Structure formats: C-alpha cells, structure tokens
A and B are shown apart, each in its own frame.
Chain A
Amino acid sequence: MTALLSLDRVSKRFRGLLAVDAVSFDVPEGVIFAVIGPNGAGKTTLFNMIAGAMTLDDGAIAFAGEQIGGLTPDAVCRRGVARTFQLVRPFPALSVEDNVVIGALLRHRGVGAARERALAVLRRLDLFDKRHQIAATLTLPDRKRLEVARALATEPKLLLLDEVMAGLRPTETDRMVATLREINRESGLTILLIEHVMRAVMALAARVLVLDHGVAIAAGTPEDVVRDPAVVRSYLGAEAL
C-alpha cells in the first residue's frame, strides 16, 4: 500500500505554545484513519494544516506525491482533499440540493451534470427526500450528513472529517458509521477523521494515531492503541489504569 497522505515532522506554533510538535504519519490509500486525543491535543490544528486553512511552521505535507503544505483551502480541495467542519457550516439559505450541487460543480462545468452527481450523493447520504428543504431548517444530524454530502460531491481522493459524530445520539452515530464504511468499501475512498467518540473510532478506523499536547504518542490498530499505557494515561485518565 502506498501512502496517499504523508506528513513529515509537521509543526505549528501559537506564540509560545507548540500546538503540533513534529508530527509524522502516513495515511495509506483506501484506509480509514483516525486521529484521536484529548481536548487541546492539536487535532484540529493538524487537520486545518492539511486542509490549507492554516499554514505550517515546519515540516511538509505530501498528498498523492505532491507537496500541499501552505496551499490555500480551495487549492487543496481542487487537488482532491475535501473536508467537513467541526461546527457545521452548510450554506444556510440554500436548499439541500443546491448545497451539494455547489460541491459537485468543482468537477463538472455544466450545472445539469453537477445536479445529477449531487442527486446521486444525496441518495447515498439518505438526504434525497429532503433535497428541497432549506439547509438552515435541517436537524443537526442531517446538517452533519449534508456536510459530508457536499464534501463527497467534490469527488475527493481523501475525505477529512472533523468530529462528524460530535453531538450525535448513539443511533445516529451508528448510522453515520455505517454510511462511511459503505462509501469506503464501495469506492475505496480514503478517510481521515478526527474523532472523540471512541465507539465510532473502534468501529471505523483501521489505523489510529493518538495526539497529546501536540505530540504523537502512539499509532497502530484501534485495539493496540487502546491498550497502550501511554494512551490510557493521557487520554482515558491515569485512574483508568
């Protein structure tokens, strides 16, 4: 397996604070990869650097053999990396369908072709029946699904999901997990997710990286990682030992 995304000693500093400290990891193609860690571990900072929303202070990010560190978010997306936002940001006044059409227009010049692609994605995410609703009127779980749909419509090679399960009830989490697994299995789409919900991580991820205070403290399969004493200490709390 070749690495689709490769981070090499990536660092980010906020004034004196080293938010991400020389983190390196490879995301192999076709894999669901999770980054976990306690609050303030630097997950979202790492994520924003990959997505182009933040510049890196040091290190390099390669995607499909090309350096993408320091590119703008739109340039990163055009190269095949689509993201969702932790706090969902659909286009509120537009219909569900138009939200996804906008994503699909990245790869389709004609609105008609983009609409077809958008409708296929909406069916995939179980939003087809709600396609005429205004995005702002959707429930939180549906808005989260809409974010995933809009990202998928850009036809990415890598999907970045920033806490897409946060705030969902267990049944909704299971539904999202099932959808993501199917998409990964059917299309071989590589997914990198930041997640707090361990239930989802255990069910989804083939590989897990654990961050703590900006440092990668463990990596491996979910089963290995949750048994790692360093992870248990920092992530689950020392008293859990």
Chain B
Amino acid sequence: MSATWLEGLSPRHMIFLGVILAALLIAPWLVNDYLLTVLIVILYFAYTGQAWNIMMGFAGQLSLGHAIYAGIGGYVAAVLFTRYGVGPWLGFLVAIPVCAACGAVIGFLAFRFGVSGVYFAILTIAFAEFARIGFDHLDFVNASAGLFLPVKQYAYNDLWRLRGSPRMFYYVILAATVFALILSRLLLRSRMGYFWLAIREDEQAARAAGIDTFRYKMYAVMISAAVTSFAGVFYAFFYNNLFPEQVFNISRSIEMILGPIIGGIGTLFGPILGAFVLTGLAESVTSALAAFGVDLPGAKQIFYGICLLLVVVALPEGIWPWLARRLGVGERNR
C-alpha cells in the first residue's frame, strides 16, 4: 500500500500537483477575508464535484439530486451536535452510513426495476425534492424554520469541534479535496473502477463480460453518497445554519455538477479545475460588476450558463483533457 496512490505518476505530474498544492497551502496567508471565503466555496465545489464524479464520471449514473446526500449529511451532524453534543467528526461517522443507505435505497429502487438513463436522473431529483419537502415539515429538525448551530467568537481554533476561524475551515476543506482526489484515483485504478468504466461505456457489453452490473452500480451510488455526506457536515459547521429549502434545493444539486461538466466528466482533476474556473470567474465577474457600480441580480447564473454553453460547444470533453494535453499531464482511462 506504500504509495499506490502515487503509482504511475510522471515527474511532470508530481511537479504540477506539488505546485498547485503549495499554492493552495500558502494562499490563506496571502488573501483577504473575502477571497478566503471564495476559496472555501471553490474547494467545497471541488470536493462535491469529485464525489458526484465517482457516480457519473466513473460509473455513468447521472444523479441530478446529489443535494440530498449533502443535506442529510449536514442534518445528521447538526442534529447530533445541537441536541446531543456529539462532535462533527463523530457525526460524520454517522452521516456516512446514513447517506450510503439513502443512496442504496435510491439505487436499489432504480437498478432493480431497470430504471436507467434520464429516468434514473429524474428519480434522483424526485428523492431530493421528497427530502426537501419532508424536512420542511419535520419538527424534529425545526422544519422550515431551520436548524441553527450556536455561534460565538472563538479565541482559538477547535478542530475537533469544527469551531474556529475561516482559515481553519479552509484547511479542512482543502484536506478533504485532496483526500477525495486520492480516493478517486485509487478507485479508478481498482478492479471496481474498471468495472465502473465498463458499465459507463456499455452496460450490456459489461454484463456479457461477466460483470454483475447491479452490484457495482450500487457500490458507485453508495460510495458517492458517503463521500458527499462530508460536504454537508462541513456546510453545516461553516455556515451554522441549515434550511431544507436551501440545502435540498435543486439549484444545489445543479451547482455541484457544473464543475465536473466544465472541467471534464470522468477525469480526476476536471472537477477541481471546473470548480476553480466556474466559481472563481463567477466571483470575479460579480465583483467586477460591483466595482463598476452595476448591480445585476442573477448575473452569476447567467455567467454559469455562458460558461456551460461555451464548454459544451468548444470543448465537449471539458477543459481539463484539453489543458492536460497542453501541459503534458494527461490522464489514462479517458
């Protein structure tokens, strides 16, 4: 197991990743509070994009309701914290099986009864909407009034309880993003990863090659859901509030998948690049507009739309495969 996750990387890959990691590690000491928040949001989407990519990019199962896993993950950890004083990391350990179980239920219903393609995607939306309306009426979690975590000024950073400065949160989400990248790479290079690619490419041919496609699709949904759950835990403790109307909203699900689509579905680095391009440029556009005294509500959404349009037309595989070829740091398997 020594360095399996580095296996097969060229020196050029190492330098590329090393430079980016070094830049991200020192970034919070160079930027102002506003930019730090932007970076946290970027890494949040880099993380969720990778989690979604496991299911769609690797196994070819389109989920348009991934907010359900982030939402439930966040609610599990927040309820345990506010009601029972259980810390976020233990809460995360509970959120993992809960979200994996949710994924298993959705996956089982779909895959057992042959629901696939767009119909599967619609089913995932339906479940996320079901969760949104359900939580909106669930008094145990304060229903539509929202769940709040106690906020005080903290003299020091408490990593164990996830209470502290934005800088601490930045490093937490950076570590999670790096972890997700390593996990994605290990998964993609594993036996299961190859089976996922086979299912994505041609499910019938995959079955003819002896792959139990039901089982491996179930694993994909469950792993993707479990990884996404941490995003919810992070969200809950960073923003200190959860509203069903917000966290389960279909816009959250769409925002999660824009990064990987723009960066490159099925690639390892695409979701990360996509998050930087999309959120980074969107924030720049909004602040540039603000600097010129223009206040346009919805400018960000229009910008997302333009980005998506440009990528779909010019680089349908995403920006990353194109950029990686130019940098000489291409990936296999794609």
Contacts and interface: CB of A to CB of B under 8 A. Distances in A.
Interface of A: 51, 53, 72-74, 77-78, 82-83, 85, 89-95, 98, 101-103, 105-106, 109-111, 114, 150-151, 154
The 10 closest A-B pairs by CB, nearest first: A91-B201, A77-B210, A106-B210, A73-B207, A89-B205, A74-B207, A102-B198, A78-B210, A102-B194, A89-B202
B208 A73 contact: yes
A101 B194 contact: yes
Nearest to B197: A94
A72 B333 CA distance: 28
A91 B195 CA distance: 11
Nearest to A88: B205
Contacts of A85: 205, 208
Interface string B161-204: 00000000000000000000000000001110011011001101
A53 B208 CA distance: 8
B210 A91 contact: no
A47 B170 CA distance: 58
Contacts, number: 78
Contacts of B334: 93
B333 A102 contact: no
B195 A105 contact: yes
B212 interface: yes
A94 B201 contact: yes
A106 B213 CA distance: 13
B204 A89 contact: yes
B209 interface: yes
Contacts of B211: 74, 102, 106
B189 A111 contact: yes
Interface string B99-116: 000000000000000000
29 contacts: A51-B208, A72-B207, A73-B204, A74-B208, A74-B209, A74-B210, A74-B212, A77-B208, A77-B209, A77-B210, A82-B208, A85-B208, A89-B202, A90-B202, A91-B197, A91-B198, A91-B201, A91-B202, A91-B205, A94-B201, A98-B333, A102-B209, A109-B191, A110-B191, A111-B189, A114-B194, A150-B209, A151-B209, A154-B209
